[in-house]
Chains A and B, each alone.
Chain A
Amino acid sequence: MTRSEPLSTTMQRWISLAVLAAAIAFPLVARPLEWDFYIGFASRIMIYALAATSLNLVLGYGGMVSFGHAAFVGAGAYTVAILMAEGVASAWIAWPLAVLLAGALAAAIGAVCLRTRGVYFIMITLAFAQMIYYVAVGMRAYGGEEGLNLATRSAVGFGLDLKNDVTFYYVVLTILAAALFALRRAMGARFGRVVVAIRENETRMEAIGFPTYRYKLVCFALGGAVAGLAGALLANHNSYVNPNLLYWPQSGSLMIMVILGGVGYLYGGLFGAVALLVLEELISGYTIHWQLGVGAVLLAIVLFAPQGLAGLLARHRDG
């Protein structure tokens, strides 16, 4: 697998640890300086990094170009918001349920979509996601088009209060780090080899005896489940959910993050989320036409670094 891990593993480990250390230290520096906005902003980036990483599992490693990933993020977010509205605030109930529901939804949608290939797959995942979007719009009891406010953030116990932005930051960081670690383990295990090999040559995988449909479905459902977790965090972060979370441009944003960051690279989702959200923040300070700037950067990446930022870094270190 020359593509995914060209960096020497020791080198990669050191960089990972350094980035993790910096992320842990960040609030310690930011808090005294009263950069509260940036602590919240960093949490948002990490939540999107989690969502993009879950799409990277499906799209990057699994080679399934899903254009409906926002539906699973939205399912997770709505699960938390609806439970909250019904009086269930515990994160230990709401978050696992968000994961399960989004995973089950992905399994059901994937079971149909994965019978198609190529452009049809892209279109049918989009179609399903739009259906879920209209379901959210139609839920009058839970705000319909207006969306739904969360009375508070989920309760995690252990004396931790998620309403404290620094606490929330660390919870999100822990989850993202754990997800990335799990992704690395899974991709180095049997499952990862199978998923990547299916991306490389699905027909041959069948010809050597793998039930490829089954493995793709598991991959797709896992991606949906992790997206559901990102959604649960996002609902907490925004203290608000609305159908726009599930609208197709959200799926597009996640795709852009993955492409920008590096399709099929461990840190592709993370790099992409950082790059896109920071760019958006920077450029929108100057002009309301920030999307034009983002588009130009995306174009440059696709032209000059088709492997994305993670690929660029890997190649640079290699050479």
Chain B
Amino acid sequence: MAEPTLRVDSLSKHFGGVVALDAVTLEVHAGEIHALIGPNGAGKTTLVHLLSGALAPDTGRVHFDGADVTARKFHERVALGLARSYQVTSVFRAFSALDNVALAVQARSGSSLRFWAPLATERALFDEARAVLAEIGLAGRDGVPAGHLAHGEQRALEVGLALATRPKVLLLDEPMAGMGPEDSERMIALIDGLKARLTVLLIEHDMDAVFRLADRISVLVNGRVIATGPPDEIRANDEVRRAYLGEEQQA
């Protein structure tokens, strides 16, 4: 296996007296779907915040695509190809679905310090945005304000916004949160389709989805990675069963 595209070296983060992440070390290889599972409060979303640059770690380093990006800002990491989605849908609710995605395209296509030329005439921007909408299954929903889309559609748009930044590595924070089985199937197909093009770090509670999609799985419990391996190995791991899977099955 080549040099990992995303490498996390003993990353720690405290919030006051609470240890959210405790020396997390993790490698995500190019082209894989790497799932991160763990009980609520294990620190999964905190890890996404640290990887994306939304929060700074207390200690530890983040390496991306061969470079240390620990000091890089949020938007700089996006420009390098490290994008994220949100567990709680965070789209531009007043903007149309098309305008949402077009914004993400705009972000990487030159300066936006343009004060005169009408945005509406930038065909290339909107053509590309339409292609993304088609990919996430929102073709024909161009003009609908994001806030008026159905829940499943908003979740798809949530991923679409990240996709439209053309990432090399996509951090998906519970893309199936709150979804019914039908929408979940669609999301699974969408993520599966990304496999050929990019690397995915998938945080997800839906175990069915995780075991179907993931090439490798890491298990985060109380801010520590207690196991990493292929799905079969994780399923068979006693410690994981005790800490997480068993608990889930009983529930």
Contact = CB atoms under 8 A, between A and B. Distances in A.
User: Are A and B genuine complex partners?
Assistant: yes
Interface of A: 1-3, 182, 185-186, 188-194, 197, 200-201, 203-212, 215, 218
A211 B75 contact: yes
B165 interface: yes
A193 B91 contact: no
A189 B111 CA distance: 12
Nearest to B80: A209
Interface string B110-128: 0111111111101000000
B112 A191 contact: yes
B70 interface: no
B83 interface: yes
B95 A209 contact: no
Contacts of A203: 54, 90
Interface string B92-115: 111100010001101110011111
A194 B112 CA distance: 7
A207 B6 CA distance: 18
Given A3-B94, A193-B106, A209-B75, A185 B115 contact: yes
Contacts of A192: 115, 119
A190 B114 contact: yes
Closest 10 pairs (CB-CB, A-B) = A209-B78, A209-B107, A208-B104, A190-B112, A190-B114, A186-B115, A206-B74, A194-B112, A204-B90, A208-B107
Nearest to A212: B75
B119 A190 contact: yes
Interface in B54-109: 54, 73-75, 78-79, 83-84, 86, 90-95, 99, 103-104, 106-108
B114 A189 contact: yes
A204 B122 CA distance: 22
Q: Which of B94, B111, B118 has the most chain A CB atoms closer than 10 A to its own CB? A: B94
B103 A197 contact: yes
Given A207-B162, A210-B107, A189 B94 contact: no
B176 interface: no
A190 B103 CA distance: 9
B114 A200 contact: no
A265 B97 CA distance: 22
Nearest to B110: A190
A208 B117 contact: no
A3 B93 CA distance: 11
A192 B114 CA distance: 9
Given A185-B115, A192-B119, A200 B92 contact: yes
Contacts of B75: 206, 209-212
A202 B118 CA distance: 22
B7 to A, nearest CB: 22
Given A2-B94, A209-B78, A212-B75, A204 B161 contact: yes
B172 to A, nearest CB: 13
Contacts of A1: 94-95, 99
B31 interface: no
B145 interface: yes
B210 interface: no
A191 B94 contact: no
B91 A201 contact: yes
Contact of B83 (A3, A193, A205, A207): A207
A215 B112 CA distance: 9
B21 interface: no
Given A201-B90, A201-B91, A208 B113 contact: no
Given A209-B79, A210-B75, A193 B103 contact: yes
